[in-house]
Amino acid sequence: MDNTAVVELENLKVKLGRREILHGITCRLGVSGKGKAVGLLGPNGAGKSTLILTLLGFHRPSAGRARILGMDCRRSMGEARSRIGYMPENDSFIGEMTAVTFLRQMAELSGLPPKAALEKAHEVLFHVGLGESRYRELRTYSYGMKQMAKLAQAIVHGPELVVLDEPTNGLDPAARRRMLKLVTDMKAEQGMNVLVCSHLLRDIEQVCDEAVILKDGAIVHHCNLEEERRSNRSFVELEVTGDDQNLRMALPEIGAEGVSEGSGRWRIVLPAGVEVEAIWGLTARQNLLVRKLTHRRDTLEEIFLKAMGHLAHTPGESAAL
């Protein structure tokens, strides 16, 4: 079984001028051929774009090594690029070309024969919802259509890895939903690996299986969102009236742990397999009146805020302490 990482970084350092942007990043992201999505998060200036541009060979590492799909980003860049699709953040197209000609040219540049490139251009434009307007010049497109055209050119040659830089930036809610669905379909139906760079945490949470949080050119958190979703970080925010002094002692009855925040407020961590109904039963036995019960997990936003240093602990961690 091939366990080649989609992106593998070894002490990667990148300098732009005299300024070091990435300070020796080491990590393995994704597994080639699995159709998984990796999210790249971080505040402005964290080095997300620099990392993406280095992976694409636009910046040269000052030290260390970067590999995409097992290929070195410097030595085998030509081969790597034919297996990558890239959707840049900013407007990027040839305005005087029709969408179908533009896509055909891009597919041919990626190595597809002219006839196959034309067929794929039509197919992909229909897939992203631009089928009816494929013979229009790109400069006449709305912003949302241009975003879709950018996505189309990134996937027209059927790459193994698609790098998306802020794919939902500036899109209205309907277009955003459509874009995220396309990304989800790309990995689920076509088995493409996706690297999404975004500052919209909800988008990353929705489509990604892994997330990396960058801060000041270094990785501050790397989490497997799939595992996070499955883990016992499920917790309950509970508010009761009545004498809750015995609740702490009673929680182990259902295998849970909790911490009182005073005034009847509790944070309770539920172990795997224990459903929230157990809390209802426990509070009933303790003659407590439940005023509020929220069953939730740590959101990516909370994980992100903790990684950025704005939170000491995520709510789930606080409950477990």
Partner 1 sequence: MVLPRYAWRRLYEQRLVILLTMAAFVWPLLCAGFIYLTNHVELLQGLEPEFREFIQVDGRFFSIFMYVQAICAVFLAALAGPGLVAPDLANNALPLYFSRPLTRWSYALARLTVIVGMLSVVTWIPGLVLFALQVGLAGGWWFVANWTLGAGMVVGFLLWLLVLGLVAMASSAYVKWRIVAGAVSLAFFFILSGVSAMIDEVFRVTWGHVLDPAWSVNRVWCTLLGVDPPEGPGVGASLVALSAFIVLLVAVIERKLRPVEVIR
Local structure of 262: helix, strand or coil: strand
Instruction: Give me the least distance between CB of 57 and partner 1, in Å please.
Output: 8
Asked whether 37 and 188 are in contact (CB, 8 A), the reply is no
Number of residues counted as binding partner 1 (CB under 8 A): 34
Nearest-CA neighbor of 233 among 321, 135, 169? 321
Instruction: Give me the least distance between CB of 118 and partner 1, in Å please.
Output: 13
Asked whether 213 and 301 are in contact (CB, 8 A), the reply is no
Instruction: Give me the least distance between CB of 228 and partner 1, in Å please.
Output: 31
Binding residue for partner 1, selected from 3, 11, 26, 92, defined by CB under 8 A: 92
DSSP string, 32-61: TTS--EEEEE--TTSSHHHHHHHHTTSS--
**108 part of the interface to partner 1, by CB under 8 A:** yes
For partner 1, the closer of residues 88 and 316 by Cβ is 88
Look up residue 135 and give its two tokens: 């013979």
Binding residue for partner 1, selected from 35, 42, 61, 88, defined by CB under 8 A: 88
For partner 1, the closer of residues 91 and 123 by Cβ is 91
Binding flags for partner 1, 248-287, as an x/- string (CB under 8 A)? ----------------------------------------
**82 part of the interface to partner 1, by CB under 8 A:** yes
For partner 1, the closer of residues 117 and 319 by Cβ is 117
**289 part of the interface to partner 1, by CB under 8 A:** no
Q: Which of residues 162-181 bind partner 1 (CB under 8 A)?
A: 163
**CA–CA distance, 69 with 8 (Å, rounded to integer):** 8
**CA–CA distance, 288 with 92 (Å, rounded to integer):** 61
Tell me which residues touch partner 1 (CB under 8 A). 16-19, 53, 56-59, 78-79, 81-82, 84-86, 88, 90-97, 101, 105-106, 108-111, 153, 163
